[in-house]
Each structure stands twice: as structure tokens, then as C-alpha cells.
Amino acid sequence: MSARSVGLPDRVPAAELPARVTIWEVGARDGLQNEKSVLPVDTKLEFLDRLADTGLSVLEATSFVSPRWVPQLADAEDLLAGLKRRDDVRYPVLVPNERGLDRALAAGVSDIAIFASATETFANKNLNRTLDEQFAMFEPVVTRALAEGLAVRGYVSMCFGDPWEGPVPAGQVVAVGKRLVDMGCFQLSLGDTIGVATTGQVQALIRGFGAAGISVDALAVHFHDTYGQALANTLAALRLGVTWVDSSAGGLGGCPYAESATGNLATEDLIWALDGLGVETNVDLDKLVATSAWLAGEMGRPSPSRVVRALTG
């Protein structure tokens, strides 16, 4: 596939939205971790380099989870050794435990993320811990990382619905998130892991964090598009002051421990919408569409992103 020149949608600014949004690009990690095929490390490195060329300033590069559990990211050390890091780009990595932190420190990373669950069942399936036990696992990771000068982000999964437990009470999510902030996480990424959230749920959860004393400046959102609601849910969050959004180039992604989780919000679809609303992202949509079209060719299948499909058809 080849991309034609995009141009921009007609801009009609919305006063209730932030002037600027920062995208936390997860394509190289969350986007690739659920693919059946394993891409060569050189292809991943080119993907990251192309993404950096688009103007994206945060590229989650890989994960130091056990290669036995996520073989698609077993090349984390090789990837980081070959990465052409840029001064204006952050390259965070996912770290599940102290062994993962050891590997991250040896690789010279400056940003890490930990991955907590808002529900008991998913904590057990994803981390082999109870809801409370997961914090005992994270605490030494965060403490050591902060002592080493690393920034630590906290993911909270299953924030809106869990395939085993059903709808998740907002208060339960807030309690988990607050413990991560108190531990030292500078930001929480609120994940709709199976893509069941609605805009009302999103706004209620963000307001719940505010009531618990956690500023909206410390929140990011991470939506999957199972029911086609990821973009609507993102805009609902932005209207309440959220300015950080996770998305995945080409709409890649899923969760290996939750079969109903489909792709992430596509970065191209997000940028098209934000451009039309007058919200700045500093991302070149032409270059990003071309990058996702190239990667789709490398993977041998069409891109899930509607914008990529529309502009490469």
C-alpha cells in the first residue's frame, strides 16, 4: 500500500477541548505484543525510527516481560541496543517486576511503566497475584526505579469492564490508581482493556479521581475499540481536561491475557479527529499514514485504522 497526500480535515475548533494533546504511542509494544507473527528486530527498529520522524515524542518501545509469556517481544535487549535514540523522544518500556527492572536498567532506559489490574481476576490471570499482592510486587520496582532517576508510569487495566467480573466500580479503580500515585507513579494510564467503556463511564471515573485528590494532569486514557467507542471515549476524557492519550499506529494491538481485547485506538484516527477540532499534536499525519501502510505491508495484512484505509485505498 502507498499513501497519498493527506492534507487536513476542515478545522472547526471546540472551545471545551485542550489546545494541545500529547500522544503516548504504544504501537511498538502494545501494538505488536498480540500479533501471531514475530517481526524481525530490524523491522521493529525501522518502525520506531519512522514513528520518531512523524513528530511523536513518546514511543513505548518494548516490554521486559518474560519471553515465555510474550514471545513477540523476546528481543527487547537487542531492540534497545540497536535503537537510534533521539534527544526529543522518550522511549519508555514496560517492566513487570524486579527482574524486568534489572534488564531495563542494564539497557539504559530512562522511563518505565508498570502494569496493574483494577480487578481481582485479571490480577490473578495477568500477574499471578491477588489485587492486594500486586502492590507488594510493584513497590520495590518503583522505589528502585525512582532511586535510579527513572520516571515511572502506572497502567491500570480493566478500568471499565472485566470479561470475568463484568462492570468495574469506579471507586475500585480509583483505589488502585491512588495506591500507584502514592507509590510514586507520575501518571496513571486508565485502560479500557476489552473496549467496553461508554462516555458516561469515562467521565464518572475521571471525576472520581478528582474527588480523591488526583489531578486530571496525572491522568492519561487508553482505549480499545472493540465496540467502536474508543474515539468517542477519548473525546469525553479530553472535555474534562485530560491531555495525554495512548494510541497505536495503524490501530494495532490487544492483550494476550484477555481474548476479547481488540486493537487500540488508531493514532491516525485520533489525529484526524483532533486536527479537525483544532487540537495540536505536532504529528505529521502524512508521514504517520505512510508508516502504518508500510508496516501493514511488512505484516501482510491491511491496517485496522480507518484513516489509513481511507488514504491508501
- Catalogue the active-site residues: 255
Q: Which of 169, 36, 148 is nearest to 101 (CA)?
A: 148
Q: Which of 46, 51, 45, 56 is nearest to 80 (CA)?
A: 45
Q: How far is the C-alpha of 136 from the C-alpha of 268, rounded, in Å?
A: 38
Helix (H) or strand (E) holding 126: helix 120-127
Amino acid present at 115: F
Instruction: Let me know if 264 is exposed, middle or buried by CB neighbors in 10 A (0-12, 13-18, 19+).
Output: buried
- For residue 241, give every residue at least 6 positions away whose Cβ sits within 8 Å of its Cβ, in sequence order, or none: 18, 206, 216, 217
Amino acid present at 156: V
Number of helices (H) and strands (E) in the chain: give both, helices first.
Answer: 11, 11
